[in-house]
Every structure is written in C-alpha cells, then in structure tokens.
Amino acid sequence: MLAGCLQFKPEFCDVNANISKIRGLLKDKKFDLMVMPELANSGYLFSTVDELKKASEEIPGGPFCSALIEIAAAFDAYIVSGICERAGDSYYNSSILVSPDGKIELYRKTHLFYDEKKWFSPGDTGFDVYEINSPDFGRVKLGIMVCFDWIFPESARTLALKGAQIICHPSNLVLQYCQKAMFTRAVENRVFTITANRTGTDSNGGKELRFTGESVIVDPKGNYLFRGSDSGDECAIVNIDPALALDKHATELNDVFLDRRTELYSL
Ligand code: ACM
C-alpha cells in the first residue's frame, strides 16, 4: 500500500491558495493514502473570531472539503487532512477522512493546545477507527489523532486497541518532542504512524509561531520510513504492509496487548 504525507506552509485565511498548493504537490503522484497537516485549509495563528469565521467551513459543503472530494476521486485514493471546521456557532480543529467515493468521516481534536482553547471547542467525537478498502491493498483499519493529541498516550492507545493499523496524525507542531515521541507511539502500539507536519512561521496579533516540519512516518518496529526537512515542502510516499500492524509481539513471549495488566491500572 502506498501511504504518504504532505508537508507545506498553509497560507493564512486563503483556502484557494492552499488547495492550489496541495494540487501542485500531488501532481503526477501515485498513492493510496495521503495525510496532510492540521488546519491545512486555514493556517493556525488566529487573533480574531472574524478571521476564524472567514477561514472555517462547514463539513461537508465547504470549498476545501469539496476540493478534497474531487482530489480523492481523481487519484482513487483516501485523504486525511486537518480542517478548520464551523458548525453553527462553534469552531472545531478537525480532521476528515475522504474516501474516493466521496464519503467523509470526521474527527474533532480532543486535546486542544495552548491558545487553541480560546478559539475552538474541545472535540466531541472521541477516537474512532475507520475501515478503508481497495482491490490493491485489501481492508485496512485507520485512526486519526491531531497534533497535541500525541502527548496523551491514551489517544494512540485507544485507536490501536480499537484496531487501527495506521494512525494518521495531521499536525502543526511547535514543540521539539513529537517527532521523537512518535517512535514510541508506533512501537508501544505496534502500528504505523504518519505525522504530516506544517512548516513556516505565522505572525499575527503581536504573536509569532514557528512550525517545525520534519514530518515522520514510523513503522510498527520503530523504523523511520520517512523524515522530512525542517522547512521545505515535501510529498513523501512509502510502500507499507499494513498487516505488520496486526502482529502485536514485541518479543516471541510478549504481546503488547495481551500482556497488559489492566487489573493493576487505574486509568
Ligand atoms: C498543536 O497541537 N498544534 C501544537
């Protein structure tokens, strides 16, 4: 199965520019699953509700969603992307899974980071696992978490216990640790992880944030299949065998799920 990630700098409040950038990076590529950064339609650093209102869209029906539906159909592929969602008077830092037939699944970020708490409602979807399917790669279970969800091991663990073989991880990382931590999330759950991070600096309302790039794809044994640059655009595609994530053995005598001692844990 050909799985990959896109790394780029979303233009703030400019959905058409972001759609064009995505189309450009994907041109002539072949893939089954592509993961894109958090808030890929909108950019990240908001300073007013008006900006948030302008940059967000309802799901489905908005321009970014519609473009991803078109792209998924054209490439006969699945796409996971971060999206700034408007739902009535609420805003969510969301991600969608778009299928080649236009079906959409929605995840709303559970653990909001820092100033995101000023703008977004905390996600209410919980962590679900979705089956994707094709004659080329068969049935594969996929989960989604967004950026700061990584620091709560419960996020990846919940997805893995529900059967996710691949954890898709749209991100806008600003701290130093996540790209290293995803090695652990992959190994402790014996899953593939695909972290699609953004690059560049956003400045707005007297604040500035630099995003760290270095998107990573890790396999269930902790091998880094891809490590991106810290500032360039990237379209990485790797060939993976999702069946590897069905084997939960860390050694011949240790199955990381069956060996759990849940009677001794209080969480
Ligand atoms: C983050 O969750 N965007 C750091």
Active site positions, annotated: 38, 109, 147
pLDDT over 90 (residue 178):
yes
Please determine, for residue 267, whether its predicted confidence score (pLDDT) is greater than 80.
no
pLDDT tens column, 202-230: 999 999 999 999 999 999 999 999 999 99
Q: Render pLDDT for 60-104 as a digit per residue (tens, 0 to 9).
A: 999 999 999 999 999 999 999 999 999 999 999 999 999 999 999
- Structure confidence at residue 176 as a pLDDT band (50, 70, 90): confident
Distance 235 CA to ligand 1 centre (A): 21
Question: Domain range for residue 9?
Answer: 2-264
- Number of structural domains found in the chain: 1
Between the alpha carbon of residue 132 and those of residues 6, 47, 89, 149, 233, the distances in Å are 20, 37, 32, 22, 27
Which class for 118: exposed (0-12), middle (13-18), buried (19 or more C-beta within 10 A)?
A: exposed
Could you tell me the pTM of the whole model? 0.98
Ligand 1 centre to CA of 151 (Å) is: 10
State whether the beta carbon of 172 lies less than 6 angstroms from ligand 1: yes
Distance 170 CA to ligand 1 centre (A): 10
**Residue 60, preceding peptide bond in cis (omega within 30° of 0):** yes
Residue with the nearest Cα to atom 4 of ligand 1?
Answer: 173
CATH number assigned to the domain comprising residue 197: 3.60.110.10
Residue 221 CA to ligand 1 center (angstroms) comes to: 26
Confirm if 70 and 104 have CB atoms less than 8 A apart: no
Q: Which of 80, 78, 67 is nearest to 37 (CA)?
A: 80
Q: Quickly count: other Cβ atoms within 10 Å of residue 222's Cβ.
A: 13
Burial code (b: 16+ CB inside 10 Å, e: under 16) for 50-64 equals ebbebbbbebbebeb
Ligand 1 atom 3 nearest Cα: 172
Atom of ligand 1 nearest to the CA of 172: 3
Instruction: Confirm or reject: Cβ of 174 under 6 Å from ligand 1.
Output: yes
Q: Confirm if 2 and 238 have CB atoms less than 8 A apart.
A: yes
Rounded to an integer, what distance in angstroms lies between the CA atom of residue 164 and that of residue 132? Answer: 11
